[in-house]
Amino acid sequence: MADIRTEIAGLKLENPTMLASGILGQTGESLLKIINEGGAGAVVTKSIGMEPREGHGSPCALELDGGLLNAMGLPNPGIDAFETELKIALKGDAPVIGSIFADTGEKFSILAGKMEEFGASAVELNLSCPHADKYGLDMGSDPEKVREIVGQVKNSVKIPVFAKLSPMVPDIGQIALAVQEAGGDGVVAINTIKAMKIEPELGMPVLKNKVGGISGPAIKPAGVRAVYEISGTVEIPVIGVGGINTGMDALEYIMAGASAVQIGSGVHYQGIDVFSKVNQEISEFMDRKNYSKLDEIIGMARKGI
């Protein structure tokens, strides 16, 4: 059987699949279930901020033909209330990565510090939410801001710091470079793509927030491209996310240069055992092709044949 273990910035994972931030990641017990029953190699929490936040009004999530449209608006119980949840998740046998959002590097540092204190194995900075005003994409599209925030967070924690990026920039490689230059330990790509649905029957947008982000199969080609460009620009590891439903989907990301992948909408499409299924398909593929370690195929598509 092929060895599908992987390592990202010192973080050792039994397999390359992680739960993506924001999907059932708000409570300790659901994170634990994704580890224990789903088979994920790691889980990322919902993005947590300084204060409790209700998020946008409803409708805030919708099934479209090729994906899911959401404008949750970063609802979360606030970092302090999240301690209990994180501690429950830590009972599982896989790393828990704390996703955080804020509007300044200082607040990001405070949040990261608390995540570290609570026991998170790493933090993921959400610099890419496409529908939450001043949070997310607004800063994540500016290399200077990215450099500043990542640098500040790096100065305040010892655990690895990952930055999650949006594809809605003309050159995502440049943003990834800013992450690397500031000492960031890894890049996660991609977050959802800004999108909306209008209901002609009513002549109005369906989402209460009008604009949201699309995830799922529709964004996979954009995600694979982003990972390919990032892994061609930086040395730090890349974690691929967007539209992964099958082992073949994950392999596209891995061959584009991802050391691990995250799955969000796939949990909806395939159920929570999407993680074990994807892992199974990856090892079957590797066995058939006589690859023995994941390392052999990471970034393979960059190398030519």
Ligand X SMILES: Cc1cc2nc3c(=O)[nH]c(=O)nc-3n(C[C@H](O)[C@H](O)[C@H](O)COP(=O)(O)O)c2cc1C
77 counts as binding ligand X under rule CB under 6 A: no
Which among its own copies, ligand X, other proteins, none contacts residue 75 (Cβ within 5 to 8 A by kind)?
other proteins
265 binds other proteins (CB under 8 A): yes
Stretch of 96-104, 181-189, 205-213, 270-278 contacting its own copies, by CB under 8 A: 205-213
Query: Residue 214 CB, nearest distance to ligand X (Å)?
Result: 8
129 in catalytic set: yes
Residues 32-51 within binding reach of ligand X (CB under 6 A): 46-47
Positions 266 through 305 that interact with ligand X (CB under 6 A): 266
192 counts as binding ligand X under rule CB under 6 A: yes
The interface partner of residue 120, options being ligand X, its own copies, other proteins, none and the CB cut-off 5 to 8 Å by kind, is: none
Query: What 3-state class would DSSP assign to 283?
Result: helix
State the SS3 of 72-135: CCCCECCHHHHHHHHHHHCCCCCCEEEEECCCCHHHHHHHHHHHHHHCCCEEEEECCCCCCCCC
Element (H, E) at 223: helix 220-231
What does the DSSP 8-state code read for residue 240?
Answer: E
Q: In sequence order, what are the beta bridge partners of 56?
A: none
Q: Which residues of 175-190 are buried (b: 16+ CB within 10 A; e: fewer)?
A: bbbbbbebebbbbbbb
Quick note: the x/- pattern for other proteins over 55-74, rule CB under 8 A, is: x-xxxxxxx----x-x-x--
Residue with the two structure tokens 């999240």: 82
Q: Is 243 in the site for ligand X (CB under 6 A)?
A: yes
- CB of 181 vs other proteins, minimal distance in Å: 34
The option from its own copies, other proteins, ligand X, none interacting with 9 (CB < 5 to 8 A, set by class) reads none
> Quick one: which of 3, 5, 7, 27 contacts other proteins (CB under 8 A)?
27
Identified catalytic residue from 79, 86, 94, 129: 129
Distance CA 249, CA 224 (A): 9
In 122-217, at which residue ranges do the beta strands (DSSP E only) sit?
122-126, 161-165, 186-189, 193-195, 198-199, 204-205, 212-215
Assign 63 to helix, strand or coil: strand
Q: Write the CB contacts of 108 (distance below 8 Å, at least 6 apart in sequence).
A: 100, 102, 125, 149, 152, 153
Write out the residues near other proteins by the rule CB under 8 A: 22-27, 29-30, 32-33, 46, 52-55, 57-63, 68, 70, 72, 75-78, 81, 197, 199, 201-202, 204, 206, 208, 264-265, 267-268, 304-305
Write out the residues near its own copies by the rule CB under 8 A: 64-67, 69, 137-138, 141, 166-170, 193-198, 200, 202-205, 210-211, 214, 217-219, 221-222, 224-225, 228-229, 248, 251-252, 255-256, 285, 297, 300-301, 303-305
